[in-house]
Amino acid sequence: MDQEDIDEMVKLYNKGFTQLEIARKFDLSQPLVSRILRQEGVISTWRRKTLEKQVEGWIDLYEKGWSVEKIKSEYEVGYGKVAQELRRKAVLGKVVTQVPEDNVDEWIKLYKKG
């Protein structure tokens, strides 16, 4: 593993990918990824506070009907991280009652089909 790989790990982690997702991508163990990130000075309370602000946005979008897949693409983060944080906040799996405006016609067609 070279510095370029380590820089890529840091970049992915800062985008919200979990340590396990990074470990799988580089065929490493999660504890080794954690050690590398600590050595690079990446893991900090600052990151947690920044993530909390992002999660508020994810919750808002999820409750408006966005899928986890769409949220992860919009924020360029890992699927696992979005799902993990939504579960942690007891949001993932909640029935969404608000239909997004851009899908109303589609929902009406599906309803009429039965």
Instruction: Work out the percent of the chain whose per-residue pLDDT is above 70.
Output: 75
Output the pLDDT for position 97: 47
What are 39-57's pLDDT values in tens digits? 888 865 456 666 778 888 8
Q: So what's the pLDDT on residue 29?
A: 95
Position 47 scores a pLDDT of: 60
The more confidently predicted of residues 76 and 64 is: 64
Angle at 46 between CA 50 and CA 28, to 5 degrees: 90
Q: Which of 84, 102, 106, 101 is nearest to 93 (CA)?
A: 84
The fraction of the chain above a pLDDT of 90, given in percent, is 24
Q: How many residues does the chain have?
A: 114
- Determine the pLDDT at residue 45: 47
Q: Residue 65 in 3-state DSSP? A: coil
Domain boundaries, the chain: 1-43, 47-114
Where residue 10 falls among pLDDT bands split at 50, 70, 90?
very high
**pTM, rounded to two decimals:** 0.46
- Between 27 and 82, the higher pLDDT residue: 27
Q: What is the mean pLDDT of residues 21-46?
A: 86
